[in-house]
């Protein structure tokens, strides 16, 4: 899916307003980290949100692939939008690690 589809998935979820805002900021962080300056580089997202209406905590898992980078971000989002980061990893497609900035 593209970034707009990922944001639409967040907006259509049963998260509360604070959690949706936190999830959108995480998508933007993944986008900033995974996007390269190569021509025609498009980031492909695999976003998984786990939770249901009324849940206090939601699981946010996002994998992103572009021509140059592959990113992984796993976060637990609390009821007021607090974020507990489990994994924030950025790798070069050809091997090696890069820094992931939140």
Q: Could you state, in order of their start, the residue ranges of all structural domains in the chain? A: 3-98
Specify the pTM.
Answer: 0.91
What does the alpha-carbon distance between residue 100 and residue 80 come to, in Å, rounded to a whole number? 24
Decide: 72 and 65 in contact? Cβ < 8 Å: no
pLDDT tens digits, the chain, 102 residues: what are they? 999 999 999 999 999 999 999 999 999 999 999 998 888 889 999 999 999 988 999 999 999 999 999 999 999 999 999 999 999 999 998 889 999 998
Question: What does the radius of gyration of the chain's CA atoms come to, in whole angstroms?
Answer: 14
> Helix (H, G, I), strand (E, B), or coil: what is residue 84?
strand
**DSSP conformation letters of 23-60:** HHHHHHHHHHHH--SSTT---EEEEEEE--TT-S-EEE
């Amino acid at each position: 899916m593209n970034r707009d589809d990922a944001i639409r998935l967040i907006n259509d979820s049963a998260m509360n307003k604070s959690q949706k805002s936190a999830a959108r900021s995480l998508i933007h962080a993944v986008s900033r980290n995974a996007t390269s300056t190569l021509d025609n580089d498009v980031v492909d997202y695999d976003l998984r949100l786990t939770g249901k209406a009324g849940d206090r905590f939601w699981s946010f898992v996002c994998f992103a692939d572009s021509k140059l980078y592959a990113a992984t971000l796993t976060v637990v989002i609390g009821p007021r939008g607090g974020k507990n980061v489990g994994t924030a990893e950025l790798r070069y497609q050809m091997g090696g690690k890069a820094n992931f900035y939140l």
